[in-house]
Amino acid sequence: MPLIDLGAAIALGLRYFTIIYLTGLGGLFSERSGIVNIGLEGMMVVGTVMGAWGTIAYGPVAGLVTGAAAGLLFSLVHALATVTFKVDHIVSGVVINVVAIGLARFLSQLFFGQATQSDPGIPDFATINIPLLSSLPLGLGQAFKGMSPVVLVAFLMTMPALFVLNRTRFGLRLRSAGENPEAASSLGVRIWPLRYAGVAISGALAGLAGAFLAIEINGLFREGQTQGLGFIALAALILGNWQPLRLMAGALLFGIAQAIPLRLQDAPVISLLPEEFIRMIPYVITIIAIAGFVGRVQPPAAAGRAYEGAAT
Amino acid sequence: MATEAATQPRIRPEWIDFLVAQLIALAGAFAFAALIGAVIVIAYGEDPLFVYRTVWAFGTSRPQDFAIVLENATPLIYSGLAVAVAFKAGLFNIGVEGQYIVGMAAAAAAALTLSGLPTVLLLPLVIVAAMTGAMLWAAVPAVLKVKTGAHEVVTTIMMNGIAVSLVAWLILHPLRSDVTTTDLRTEDFPASALVPNLATSLGIEDVIPDSIVHLTWLFPIALVVCVTVWFMMFRTRLGYEVRAVGSSPGSAEAGGVSIGGTQIKIFLISGALAGLVGLNHILGDTGYLGSNYETGLGFSGIAVAFLGRNHPAGIPLAAILFGMLLRGQDGLAILTELPIEILIILQGILILSVVVAYELVSRALARRRQAQLGQAAS
């Protein structure tokens, strides 16, 4: 196999990594605050359509902002349902995903004049080459050439995420809301604002990831383009044991897996399979990873549980 | 104390309170959704009352209109039931989508390979093939859930993605028709594999033309399946165990119920029901399986199940409402300038408000009963 293919696969894999990692980080904040978020996929969907709109209107930076803002606003529905009205988190998340499909069609009709896609070729970011890494031999340097600057931003997000979670008052209180809200509350911590904040962060990051998908991978909004990436982010979160660095490893694995059908279809062994079976590989890898790891991880103790105390 | 409680006139039978509460929740949710819908319609400069009247008229004015509504409702009843039975055990079958797609492919394979058989044999075999295919597809997440703890929401979504590719391959290779070269599709199924049209069977095809309306026997069968599911859930041991596992796994296990075994059983039943979802499309309408088959019926089933309160009596009503909204889109397209997606938004708002309203009402009910019991006890 020419290694240049591998380089190209890693390059695309890093773009998918960006989506999975950003969305997973969002899910991490939501779940560590105690709110299970199955609706990440739907929040991402809203981000794709609004991100495409913002990009067409004002350029790609604005597109990321509108995508994130739309995801955040939409996620507040999940927060309202689960925190204020104490609806089962998974029921609400499932409904969020069903509603997002309709909402995306509606918004697409409104902004693009057709329900299922925008015009292709929306503006994207100028690419960058990573010094040193992009001159790796045997074609592997390909992986670090023509990189989207947002990929770097995604990697760098790890630091503020770790800092906020482990070193700030907000982060520690957020985690206490997800581990033992009753104890936190007895110490004077108000639970509901923390949980709203956790869900809002997840909505903003999932929306951002959706906008990135539309701008930097597909070059348009198209119905169904998220293809379960929000759930794969959830899988990466489980694999990562709800911790940013391990989540990053999981997102890298799943991101590269996404690139296999698109860039490694001619690689040895893989090329023996029919095209349709190659397309199954990312899903199969996700299932195997989840089934193999789930028993060895520990979700936040109060995730999925309504906090029954006073809502003040 | 017990006799005191019995003499307290303020404690009504629990089920009346329950029913009244459900109806209040439903009415509130409908009113809220209609209100938000009206605001959107007014924002478009149209008259909301006219819009709602149009939707109603397009679904009810002629028998054939209502027949189209029922045709739309048929697959949604099956997918709603599939979601609901799993939900009763506390499981989320988000994979109905992939399961019915695999079911359609299994039905197509059976119809084409056994084409020589007469209807009385072939049609049941085709239906069993669809149910079996979908059930096997559901077996993977079910077993993984019980054996490894992998959450079924993630695994069923992944199985959906795999199903789409698998069926694309099946249509392109083993099941591909040699005759048609332009369309990616299977051969036409033999007539003995098709489900008879209801209007034709009843001799009323001049009122409900069978060329337009594909309302088949699968609709009355869906109602029979609802009754069967009700019987299974509320009158059999399995149903009792399923509800016990769903409402309180700890007590169920303490009572000798195997949680894992029950979960696998009900998930397989859910998958088998999912296998019926795509049948009206291929056996009642197209007569073949094409690569442009109907999608999204599994996800709509989730909405139908939640709206129908996961109850076999509520699900057909919710499915008919959704069928009516689907039919109403034609009306809006013809008579108004509104984007038809407005009705999809309306569906979404309705589902969200129903879920919230049920939660609020059932919590209020629980609080009141507790207060009453406290009063009765003191």
Domain range list for chain B: 66-295
Instruction: Dump pLDDT digits (tens) for A153-179.
Output: 999 999 999 999 999 999 999 999 999
State how far the Cα of B141 lies from the Cα of A37, in Å rounded to an integer: 20
Q: What does the alpha-carbon distance between residue B152 and residue B138 come to, in Å, rounded to a whole number?
A: 10
State whether A77 and B352 contact (CB < 8 Å). yes
Mean pLDDT of chain B: 90
> In chain A, which residues have their Cβ closer than 8 Å to the Cβ of B94?
94
Kindly list the domain boundaries of chain A, sorted by start residue: 3-296
State the CB neighbour count (10 A cutoff) for residue B261: 12
Q: Which residues contact B207 (CB under 8 A, 6 or more apart)?
A: B63, B64, B199
Structure tokens at B370: 């507790």
Q: What average pLDDT is seen over chain A?
A: 89
Q: Is the pLDDT reported for residue A208 higher than 90?
A: yes
- The span from the CA of B370 to the CA of B378, in Å, is 12
Higher pLDDT, B183 or B86: B86
Most confident of A105-109, B202-206, B264-268: B264-268
Which tokens in the block code for residue A27? 């899910």
Q: Give A86→chain B minimum CA distance, Å.
A: 7
- CA atoms of B26 and B360, how far apart (whole Å): 11
Q: b or e along A292-309 (b: 16 or more beta carbons within 10 Å of the residue's beta carbon)?
A: ebbeeeebbebbbebbee
B303 min Cα distance to partner chain A (Å): 7
> According to the model, what pLDDT value does residue B320 have?
96
pLDDT in tens, A18-43: 999 999 999 999 999 999 999 999 99
DSSP state letter for B290: B
CA distance B240 to chain A (A): 22
Convert the pLDDT of each residue in B32-85 to its tens digit.
999 998 998 898 888 999 999 999 999 999 999 999 999 999 999 999 999 999
Residues 6+ apart with CB under 8 A from A273: none
Task: Please tell me the predicted confidence (pLDDT) of residue B2.
Answer: 47
Q: Is B172 on the interface with A (CB under 8 A)?
A: yes
| Mean pLDDT, residues B260-277 taken together | 97
Report the gap between the CA of A290 and the closest CA in chain B (Å): 6
A126: pLDDT strictly greater than 90: no
Q: How confident is the model at residue A244 (pLDDT cuts 50, 70, 90)?
A: very high
What token pair was written down for A71? Answer: 């995801």
Nearest-Cα residue of chain B relative to residue A279: B165
Q: Please judge whether A294 and B153 are an interchain contact, meaning their C-beta atoms are less than 8 angstroms apart.
A: no
Count of residues in chain B: 378
In this structure, which topology does domain A3-296 adopt according to CATH? Answer: ABC transporter involved in vitamin B12 uptake, BtuC (1.10.3470)
Is residue A119 within 8 Å of B324, Cβ to Cβ?
Answer: no
**Range scoring the smallest mean pLDDT among A238-247, B155-164, B165-174, B202-211:** B202-211
Touching check for A235 and chain B: CB below 8 Å?
A: yes
Please report which confidence band the pLDDT of residue A121 belongs to, taking 50, 70 and 90 as the band edges: confident
DSSP codes, A223-244:
TTTTTTHHHHHHHHHHHTTT-H
Structure tokens at B33: 């959704």
One-letter amino acid of B140: V
Banded model confidence at residue B184, pLDDT cuts 50, 70, 90: confident
* Interatomic CA distance for residues A125 and A6, integer angstroms: 23
Distance CA B170, CA B176 (A): 7
B355–A contact, CB cutoff 8 A = yes
Instruction: Indicate the residue type of A99.
Output: V
Within 8 A of A81 by CB-CB distance, chain B residues are 352, 355-356
Question: Which residues from B are below 8 Å from A94, CB to CB?
Answer: 92, 94, 153, 302
pLDDT band per the 50, 70, 90 thresholds, residue A4: low
Residue A307: the pLDDT is 83
Taking CA atoms, A265 is separated from A2, A257, A273, A279, B169, in Å, by: 12, 12, 9, 9, 16
Taking only the tens place, the pLDDT of each residue in B191-241 is 999 999 998 888 888 888 888 899 999 999 999 999 999 999 999 999 999
B32's CB contacts (< 8 A; 6+ apart) are B349, B353, B357
Give per-residue pLDDT as tens, B15-36. Answer: 787 888 888 889 999 999 999 9
- Would you say residue B111 has pLDDT above 70? yes
Cα A149 to Cα A127, B117, B378: the distances in Å are: 6, 62, 69
Whether B159 has its CB under 8 Å from any CB of chain A: the answer is: yes
- Most confident stretch, A85-89, B208-212, B345-349, B366-370: A85-89
Instruction: At B147, list the tokens.
Output: 């054996």
Query: Nearest-CA distance from A247 to chain B in Å?
Result: 16
* Chain A neighbors of B150, CB-CB under 8 A: 287, 290-291, 294
Are residues A95 and A70 in contact, defined by beta-carbon separation less than 8 angstroms?
Answer: no
pLDDT above 70 as % of chain B: 96
CB-nearest to B158 from A77, A81, A283 is: A283
Residue-level pLDDT at A312: 43
Chain B neighbors of A87, CB-CB under 8 A: 355-356, 359
ipTM, two decimals, is: 0.88
**Is the per-residue pLDDT at B181 higher than 70?**
no
Using CA of residue B329, residue B333, residue B337, residue B340, what is the dihedral sign? positive
For residue A87, give the nearest of B149, B172, B355 by CB distance.
B355
Q: For residue A222, give the 3-state DSSP assignment.
A: strand
Exposure class string for A106-131: b at 16+ Cβ within 10 A, else e:
bbbbebbeebebbeeebebbeeeeee
C-alpha count within 13 angstroms, C-beta hemisphere, residue A185: 16
CB under 8 Å to B39, separation ≥6 — which residues? Answer: none
Q: Which of B293, B70, B338 is nearest to B330 (CA)?
A: B338
* B368 has a pLDDT exceeding 90: no
